[in-house]
Structure 1
Amino acid sequence: MRKFILIAALTLPVASAAAPLVSTDPFPEPGSTVYVNLPAGAVEITENTVEGFGLFAHAGSDQEVLLASQYLPRVLVVEGDSALLEMYTGGNACPVMFAWITYADGILRSSGEFGTCAEEGDYVVENGLPVFTLGDLEDESAAIAYRYDPATAQIAERPVEMTR
């Protein structure tokens, strides 16, 4: 019997200053299904039991993307038609990466994984697009800002100085 986890949609207001973003939700149980409620419908995320690694994200009757993660993700934020996922790699040197999923107009897309291995970052919406900034673990004074475009599911990276 599968256990089900319902992730409620959380929408952050447009922010002028970056806010720290870290999940306080419990980790999903192995073998369960993570539901992400987006305006176009629910996205179900399950473990890939066929190949033994990764996750399947399903939406609608025929939309599916593969996510690179050892374990089920936690949802950090829902922004419009997209959700930012915290993805666990299963390693110690780089335990966490991130990915955006977008479900709109009947199409499910993923940004693919991104990150610096930092476990928390700052979140802000700039010019209508979400930006997640993560510290550079090799240079404490540096960070990388990841700007997500949900229309194309593309990430644009830019180096920035840490403000914390």
Structure 2
Amino acid sequence: MIDRDGYRPNVGIIITNDRNQVFWGKRIRQHAWQFPQGGIQYGETPEQAMYRELHEEVGLLPEHVKILGRTRDWMRYEVPQSWSKRESRGGYRGQKQIWFLLRLIGRDCDVHLRASEHPEFDAWRWNDYWLDINAVIEFKREVYTMALNELARYLPGHRHGMAHLQAHK
């Protein structure tokens, strides 16, 4: 499902623990780390898609998490044509995302990366909330920065920090 501007509706998921660290997943068979994310299927609300993706990618159920907040508007990023598997489908530009900030109220052992037949991650760890944005694939950095900055206000005991993009030369 691609909108008329060429963006696929998607959800991004930032899971925090009681120390305000974030879940950081390693893409299967790659040295690339990211937050869980996935497409919104026809007829799904962003919240329904978030819970489905949370289970498919991380193995967590609704009772394992509490929603702390979500972004107000869509955040968009373009996928370079060299990365796009959909380039044969004319008009695809990238993703538009609603981001959710969750608190893990379950335990670390509730995480199951093999909950689906097609796992996305083969490892995970807790990382500082204000992660090094340069660890994120380049074309997603701006949207990660915007999501982390907008959602930080929902963190219990949140400190005013900011994720910043650093220009590559």
Specify if TM > 0.5.
no
Greater strand proportion? 1
Larger relative CO (CA 8 A, sep 6+): 1 or 2? Answer: 2
What is the TM-score with the length of structure 1 in the denominator? 0.28
What is the TM-score with the length of structure 2 in the denominator? 0.28
